[in-house]
Copies of this chain bind each other. A is one copy, B any other.
Amino acid sequence: MPSPYFTKLTKIMLLTQTEENYLKAIFKHSEEAGKGVATTNAIAIEMNTAPASVTDMLRRLSEKKLINYEKYKGVSLTDSGRQVATELIRKHRLWECFLVDKLDFEWDEIHDIAEQLEHVNSPELIRRLNEYLGTPRFDPHGDPIPDEHGNIPEREFITLSNLEPGQTGELIGLQEHPDSLMKFLKKINVAIGTKITVLEYNEFDESLYIQINNEKKGGLSRKVSDNLLMKVI
């Protein structure tokens, strides 16, 4: 309707998967990382490309007004860039819920599949998927799922490494979730929701002696306990 009266042109810009992935990488290394801006190098490492390729893409994303970019000064997302990024994260995490809740995948098997599914473009699909899953707020790794407006639920947590001997907490998420960590946790029977009691703190290597769900006891390295996000109970 070419009328002079319409006020808001919600331009639906079709992005390539690559562009989408760059926006996610920028989100991760600026806002999510707590820094204001992402650096070219960080993005290159995240995307597994040469820094020169990143510079090139930054120029293009900047032209499309998805990022704020000044040469040599790092990069941050504009409002519309942030909207795209959080929508992708929302889609990724909803699909992860689907894979675990409905198709019985395990939490260490879903990332690569969700990485593909997140690029499927259909707002109605996501609306219905979200409803079908019961509007989950967290994904199978405990990561918060942004809502339609890009608001991300806050989690209050303390890392297991910061619990005092005697305290018990419930696992609500992971700081990072590399495959190796998830496989290890599976082996010792720790998952989202598991209760862990700190029995002893070992000063020498900063490891913990813990009890899992009031049953098995065992040791846990500092590196692992740093990655476990707990709610004290």
Contact = CB atoms under 8 A, between A and B. Distances in A.
A132 B103 contact: yes
A74 to B, nearest CB: 33
Copies of this chain in its oligomeric complex: 2
A121 interface: yes
A48 interface: no
Interface residues of A, number: 19
Interface in A82-117: 99, 102-105, 109, 112-113, 116-117
Nearest to A132: B103
A104 B117 contact: no
A180 interface: no
B116 A103 contact: no
Contacts of A105: 124, 128
A14 to B, nearest CB: 12
Contacts of A109: 124
B122 A103 contact: no
A120 interface: yes
Nearest to A103: B128
A199 interface: no
